Amino acid sequence: MNRMGYGRRGPSSFNKLDSALAFREMGLKNGDAFADLGCGAGDYSLYACSITGAEGKVYAVDISEDMISGLREEIRRRNLCNIIAVESDICNSIRLSDDSVDCCLLATVMHAAKLMGNDKNLFPEIMRILRPGGCLAIIECKKEETFFGPPLSMRISPEELDGAVSPYGFKKKKCVDLGYYYMMLFSY
Ligand SMILES: C[S@@+](CC[C@H](N)C(=O)[O-])C[C@H]1O[C@@H](n2cnc3c(N)ncnc32)[C@H](O)[C@@H]1O
């Protein structure tokens, strides 16, 4: 981790919160398909592989060619077979099939990609790829001053997030405290 809080392969929130707790709360299990939307360096995706196992699948999606090629290298290095890195703009269309995913994660993407109010295609696309009964997990920085992370003006409160997501038909299940972060879980 360098001075900017970036890991070797790029910026990541993964090591700044209790990721094991986040995955337990998501309820991800062996055999599931998991989509990490805006995966960045892919730390959540690489961890998810160990949960979903050989019978499951992990789709790591990012708009950045650099992030995706770096992750593909890491996948090759670790010789993983149950993860696919997909270059795709999630605000446009997500290059995954209908009803193909049990759980979608957006980890510190909503604020970074300025998706609040620019989510016209995002949530319908997430609904399209989620299997009925699937789960949407959104991790964001708490809306408070911290020594790292985005300025307060870019941060999204749980209430604002719920207000943006619920109109699309997702139902809020719970909000999990992750220290500097929170995770909101939705079903549909
Ligand atoms: C702050 S990083 C978060 C990375 C990772 N999810 C994490 O928390 O460790 C935001 C990521 O979202 C990606 N991103 C931004 N806009 C996107 C879009 N429209 N489609 C797909 N990915 C996008 C960026 O390339 C970047 O890798």
Number of Cβ within a 10 Å radius of residue 4:
7
Report yes or no on 96 lying in a domain: yes
Mean pLDDT for 4-13 is 61
Predicted confidence at residue 29, as pLDDT, reads: 97
Alpha-carbon 130 to chain mean position: 14
Question: pTM to 2 decimals?
Answer: 0.94
Domain that holds residue 177: 6-187
Residue 182 Cα, ligand 1 centroid: separation in angstroms?
17
Residue of 62, 86, 93, 118 with the most ligand 1 atoms within 8 Å of its CB, for mutation: 62
pLDDT in tens, 163-188: 999 999 999 999 999 999 999 999 98
Which CATH number belongs to the domain containing residue 175 in this structure? 3.40.50.150
Helix orientation angle between 19-26 and 43-52, rounded to the nearest 10 degrees: 50
The closest residue, in CA terms, to atom 10 on ligand 1 is 109
Residue 141 within a domain: yes
Q: Is residue 68 part of a domain?
A: yes
- In-domain check, residue 107: yes
Contact 113, 38 (CB under 8 A): yes
- The preferred substitution site among 8, 43, 63, 74 for testing ligand 1, maximizing ligand atoms within 8 Å of CB, is 63
- Tell me, using a 6 A CB cutoff, whether residue 39 lines ligand 1: yes
Count: domains in the chain: 1
What is the average pLDDT score of the chain?
92
pLDDT surpasses 70 at 3: no
Ligand 1 centre and the CA of 119: distance in Å? 14
Note the pLDDT tens digit of each residue in 95-149.
999 999 999 999 999 988 777 777 789 999 999 999 999 999 999 999 998 888 8
Q: What integer pLDDT is reported at residue 28 of this predicted model? A: 98
For residue 1, being part of any structural domain is answered with no
